[in-house]
Amino acid sequence: MEVHTTARRVKVTPAVRRLLDERLAKLTRYVPELGEAHVKLTAEKYRHQAEILIRVRHEDVVAKAEAADLLSAADGALDRLEEQLRRLKEKKSRRVVARRVADGGVRRSAAAAALGVEPRPARSRPGRPASPAAAERRPRVLRSGAETKPLSVDEAVDRLLAEELPFLVFVDSRSERPCVLHRRPDGNLVLVEGRR
């Protein structure tokens, strides 16, 4: 990995350079394509500051730290950078898992297709939870058998106020659009009109 170091009013010691080289090289376990890092080290009176910038997937990741000595400041910035990259990697892995679940499991490989091996069926049928515990977590949708007639906005306001509802979904009799009328915390009413 290539490390570009800029030092202002401070001398970079071999210990600091070794720390930067070793710790930045270890960051490739989070981002394998990591090629270079820019490190800016500064000293102002009794404060030492370290700022590390790397580019990951067309996005800049910056970590800053401040301490009484240069080695501690560099170590703090490296800790923060490692934490950011760890979270970025976890976020990416969660997306991959979510995509697999949304696709209905792992896709069939080319080798399995050539051999004629069918993928294993999913554990549960679509629309049904896999276990009773999952059934408790997922709410059921119950349809009301009552039909409603279209309302004017004034009628909807009267009904909302009379029944003390937090919101009311209705079809506007004039425009024949679905609408939502809801009460704000300050007592005013907001009308949201949908599209046809």
Does a structural domain hold residue 111?
Answer: no
- Per-residue pLDDT, 110: 57
Q: Which domain holds residue 173?
A: 153-193
Entry pTM: 0.51
Q: Please answer whether residues 28 and 16 qualify as being in contact, where contact means their C-beta atoms are separated by less than 8 angstroms.
A: no
Query: Would you say residue 80 has pLDDT above 90?
Result: yes
| CATH number, position 172 | 3.30.505.50
Among 103, 120, 138, the domain boundary falls at 103
Q: What is the pLDDT of residues 93-117, one digit of tens each?
A: 777 666 665 555 555 555 555 556 5
Examine residue 109 and state whether it is found in any structural domain, yes or no.
Answer: no
Q: Is residue 131 part of a domain?
A: no
**Average predicted confidence (pLDDT) for the chain:** 81
Higher pLDDT, 42 or 122: 42
| DSSP helix/strand/coil, 121 | coil
Helix H or strand E segment including 108: none
Residues 84, 56: Cα–Cα separation, whole Å: 11
Under 8 Å between Cβ of 159 and 149: no
